[in-house]
Structure 1
């Protein structure tokens, strides 16, 4: 059974109300995005609020977060309120479409760890299915919003499994967004690639592909690269 909370060095994430708990790949995503110079950030599908909190720790940006699930809304609000950055974090308890209808702001950074596994087998857990399984239309909603509300020099960051990452890249072309960078995430050295951390921009340029392994070849010890990224967050480092 997952813990009811996850304690980081500078903040705590309560997660008892959310189907999707704090996980290693999400934490890695939260550290891999370039947000140091960002002034305005949007988190689409905030869940517990984990990603918003992680980018708040290492930026001075104002951060908006959109979440449609009532239980997750309550959880994210709680986690924002007890964090050191409560004055910079704002939750919008609505769908992305509803938010888009009234939002007048453009963002330097838009990020999302969206429901995924479009082409994968479904979990028997209905709550996890609701959080993870999404039709292609939701990816297009993210792209449509990004096209209209991302600053022309801004960046869109996503965390997706490899098959969905390929699908998203194909869809992005219709919206004038170009894949600029991919960080391939492997379970361990010589292990399986489980996630792609993608960065999109409006400017077309040759895409850079890098990789990181979470654990050493023994499957136990964390790699030096992983420790370097998470050292300001994980209590064990």
Structure 2
């Protein structure tokens, strides 16, 4: 699995408290590694239902300076039964809700939310979150309202949101969001990745991600 902009964005943007962190659908382990780099006082559980992703995460973590901070689990979120609750649950989930299922098996589970519907994700998050814990998630803009409304029905409230536009001429395509069990007025932010010239990154994006990109 390639390093994607969405994973880098949520890994760099989210609050990282001390204590227990759960990375749901860890993929290559990118987000877990970023969080471990940002806060050496957090302990991270990284889970993925797809065996290939689980194995890749395990290899990447073993070859990193942060292997004592991260534990990997081959498990679905629904069936995951930890002996703790979490200060942060974070996810860069699949985006294709009720989409056509590709016949190709490679990465198929990781690409489709059928294995982890929003309702299941939110229910399990509420179960595993500490009273003052945070859920941090990146989603396409078109799915944000649905996720916010479903979360509210389960008493999980939006506290912070960042709209991300590819460049100054395009509408936001992604949203970064933080939720908690405590209701508050959401803090609203905006981020633009590139100027109107391809591969010319904005100062804000560079500042956010400079600790993770060698080219910055």
Q: Give, in whole Å, the separation in 2 of the partners of 1:193 and 1:122.
A: 26
1:67, 1:93 within 8 Å by CA — same for their partners in 2?
A: yes
1:9 aligned partner = none
Provide closer, same or farther for how the CA distance between residues 124 and 218 of structure 1 changes in structure 2, counting only shifts above 3 A: farther
Provide closer, same or farther for how the CA distance between residues 125 and 111 of structure 1 changes in structure 2, counting only shifts above 3 A: same
**Aligned residues between the structures:** 215
2:26 aligned partner = 46
2:98, 2:113 within 8 Å by CA — same for their partners in 1?
A: no
The 5 A counterparts of 1:169-188 are 169-188=148-167
Answering whether residue 49 of structure 2 is matched by residue 68 of structure 1, we say yes
Q: Give, in whole Å, the separation in 2 of the partners of 1:135 and 1:227.
A: 35
Q: Give, in whole Å, the separation in 2 of the partners of 1:61 and 1:79.
A: 18
Deviations 1:26-50 (Å, cap 9, x if unpaired)? 2111100010x32110000000000
Give the superposed CA RMSD.
1.9
2:188 aligned partner = 209
TM-score (norm 1): 0.85
Residue 29 of structure 1: SS of its match in structure 2?
helix
Provide closer, same or farther for how the CA distance between residues 42 and 216 of structure 1 changes in structure 2, counting only shifts above 3 A: same
Unaligned runs of 5+ in 2: none
1:186, 1:194 within 8 Å by CA — same for their partners in 2?
A: yes
TM-score (norm 2): 0.92
Residue 188 of structure 1: SS of its match in structure 2?
coil
Of 60, 69, 94, which residue of structure 2 is paired with 1:79? Answer: 60
Unaligned runs of 5+ in 1: 1-17
The 5 A counterparts of 1:161-200 are 161-200=140-179
Residue 56 of structure 2: SS of its match in structure 1?
helix
| 1:137 positional shift | 5.6
Residue 133 of structure 2: SS of its match in structure 1?
strand
